[in-house]
Structures are given as C-alpha cells and as structure tokens.
Amino acid sequence: MTSVGLQITDQLCFESWEQAGHRLSGVVDSSTWCLGDWLVYGKRHFPDRYHRAIRAAGLQYQTLRNYAWVARRFPLERRRSRLSFQHHAEVASLPVEEQDWWLDQTEQETWTTKQLRNRIREEQVDPAKREKPQDNVVAAAIARLPIASSHLPSWRRAAAHTGIDFDEWVLLALDRAAEQTFDRTTAIPA
C-alpha cells in the first residue's frame, strides 16, 4: 500500500484478493470514525488551533465536520461494529431511541445503507408500517420537517450557548412556542 494506491502481485489468489478487499473496506470505515473523533478532540482541546491542523492534514473541512457530527452523536460504546459509518450517519439526526431502533433493525435484517434510508423514508410517509416491540416503549417520533439548512447553524449555536443538547433545545423551543400560542389565545381581552 502506498499513498497513491495499492500494488498487487500477479500471483495473488482469489481468496487473498477477497480478504484484502474486506480489510480495506474496514480501514475505510474505521478511518471515517477516527477522523471524526480526531476533529471532536481537536475542537475540544485546541479550539484556537484545530483549523490549522485540518488545513495541514489537507482534508475538506465540511467533510470532516460531517464526520465529527456523526462521531459526537454516537459515542464509542454506541457504535455498531457490524454496521458502517454511513449506516450511523443515516440515523444520526434522529433521537437516540430512534437511532437504536433503526440500527437494531438494520443489523437484524442486514440492510444496506440505501435500504435503511428507504425504510426511514417509507416510515415518514406511513409511520404505522413500523412494528414497535411491545416491551420497548419508544417516545413518539416527530415526522421530519423540511427546514432550510441556513437555520441550523444559529439554532445549534443557541443550543450550545444554553448548554442543552440540540434535540432537547428544539423540543423546548417548540414547547415554549406552543405555550405562548395558547397563552395568547386564552388571554381575557381587556
């Protein structure tokens, strides 16, 4: 293996070639997690210098931000070694209970990333299609809302500023908006 490719001998048998592919696939998936963890650590420990390290590494900042976002959403102990980074990325925006449910289903059914994405989309159209285990009460999931990405950075900053997890901050903001709406509509006119 070199920095620009893989040199393979002409005498390689099929089994060895197949095994090499399996190992390389594992390296790719592992490196994605590792880069995400690396960025999370750098931002936490070297906030004034981690951008310089990213530039020195020659990696695209937005790609690394995506890796870091997924890595933060899945601490090491919650990551599923039998599933790819991309499987985790597909469910990263969901509440933890929903993430776990979807990852459990993916492991049981051995879904590809595309199959997982399609199942999630199907449920958004018809939530009744999902069979929830009776012994595992899961909080009702709110259907995904189409939101312009321009809103997210300020919302995430506001959540971080208050020290509240982003998902929880969104729910609190919605609860406050509902309360204010009812307060205005039930107020006695003067």
Do 41 and 35 form a contact (C-beta atoms < 8 A)?
no
Instruction: Give the pLDDT score at 140.
Output: 42
Q: What is the mean pLDDT of residues 9-28?
A: 86
CA torsion sign for 58, 60, 63, 64 is: positive
Q: Residues 6 or more apart from 158 whose CB is under 8 A from it?
A: 169
Q: What is the pLDDT of residue 157?
A: 85
pLDDT score, position 115: 94
* Banded pLDDT at 101 (limits 50, 70, 90): very high
User: Percent of the chain scored above 70 by pLDDT?
Assistant: 84
Flag whether pLDDT at 75 surpasses 90.
yes
Structure tokens at 148: 């312009």
Mean pLDDT score, 53-71: 84
The band of 135, judged by pLDDT with boundaries at 50, 70 and 90, is: very low
The answer to whether the beta carbons of residues 143 and 124 sit under 8 Å apart is yes
CA-to-CA distance for 32 and 22, rounded, in angstroms? 16
User: Residue 56's pLDDT is what?
Assistant: 79
pLDDT score, position 53? 80
- Of the spans 37-41, 64-68, 102-106, 173-177, which averages the highest pLDDT? 102-106
Residue 126 confidence class, pLDDT cut points 50, 70, 90? low
Residue 32 has pLDDT above 70, yes or no: yes
